[in-house]
Amino acid sequence: MATTKKSASKEAKEFKTELSVEERLRALYDLQLVDSRIDRIRSVRGELPLEVRDLEDEISGLEARKNNVEEEIKSIQTEISKSKQRVKESQALIKKYEAQQHNVRNNREFESLAKEIEFQQLEIQLEEKRSREAALQLEEKKAVLAEVEERVNERKQALEHKLGELDEIIAETEKEEALFVAKSEELAKLVDERLLRNYHRIRGSMANGLCVVAIERDACGGCFNKIPPQRRLDIAQRKKIIYCEHCGRILVDEFLAIEEQDKLEKQMKLPLA
């Protein structure tokens, strides 16, 4: 099995080296036509995938904030409960000290109990103040929570809408995209590895993804700089791979470009433009 794979790989490499320069140019231009068509299919989705990702990130952040606010609300409610309990304890102590005042033996004991009662009354005032402040804080946090929950619901509705749009576009284009992706992979096998690396490097550096372009009106179809007559003649002869001196793209003559586009459109039974 391993021998068969090696043999197939060797045959593929030999096939690539057997291709003439013109055949390589045709394969490269075909690859460019197909990859450009894939780019156009994917561009139909526009910014939707990014918008979906941004909405998902925003919802995740809002959910985290919502959880934090809920924890803060629980903490405040716990503190209010503790304050109320401390007030009850102080009130119980006051009743106890007041009862003891009826059984004191001297003024010193009475005054000592009076001080304890006064201290517990101050403690009650302090706890009631804390409770009032906490209650105000609680209302603020509840208002924040309601606002965050409203934002979460709004963002989730927006996400649902965007996902629906994206799914609709993908459903319309996925079959066509899969067809062109398969064709791109098939064509890439016809190009030798070094040339294919150059193709992907140049294509990746261009905003429009064009690496292989035809001459148009005696100019480069990528950067539109004029090409000298002798260089145009060299390109038309298809004897070597020629790069644009200005933008670095690979150049093909307009007749080859027309032939390859017509041929591919008949093969794919789909328009490339």
pLDDT tens profile 66-86: 999 999 999 999 999 999 999
CATH of residue 53's domain is 1.10.287
Q: Among 175-179, 218-222, 235-239, which is the least confidently predicted range?
A: 175-179
Domain boundary among 119, 143, 174: 174
- The answer to whether position 211 is within a domain reads yes
Residue 197: burial class (beta carbons within 10 Å; 0-12, 13-18, 19+): exposed
Name the H helices within 44-106: 48-101
Domain boundary among 174, 208, 232: 174
Residues 10, 159 contacting (CB under 8 angstroms): no
- The answer to whether position 182 is within a domain reads no
Q: Domain check: are 103 and 210 in the same one?
A: no
- Number of domains, the chain: 2
Q: Domain check: are 104 and 160 in the same one?
A: yes
Note down the domain range covering 11: 2-43+192-268
- The answer to whether position 70 is within a domain reads yes
Q: Domain check: are 215 and 255 in the same one?
A: yes
Please tell me the distance from the alpha carbon of residue 96 to that of residue 26, in angstroms, as a whole number.
Answer: 103
Q: Domain check: are 36 and 52 in the same one?
A: no
Please tell me the distance from the alpha carbon of residue 174 to that of residue 180, in angstroms, as a whole number.
Answer: 10
Q: Domain check: are 54 and 168 in the same one?
A: yes
Higher pLDDT: 111 or 169? It is 111
The whole-number average pLDDT for the span 101-126 is: 92
The whole-number average pLDDT for the span 97-119 is: 91
What stretch of H or E contains 112?
Answer: helix 107-188
What is the predicted pLDDT for the residue at 173?
82
pTM exceeding 0.75:
no
- The answer to whether position 124 is within a domain reads yes
Q: Domain check: are 149 and 208 in the same one?
A: no
Q: Domain check: are 54 and 155 in the same one?
A: yes
pLDDT in tens, 150-178: 999 999 999 999 999 888 888 878 888 89
The whole-number average pLDDT for the span 12-19 is: 57
Residue 222 has what DSSP assignment? T
Q: Domain check: are 70 and 138 in the same one?
A: yes
Domain boundary among 174, 203, 221: 174
The whole-number average pLDDT for the span 200-228 is: 95
| pLDDT tier, 5 (very low <50, low <70, confident <90, very high otherwise) | very low
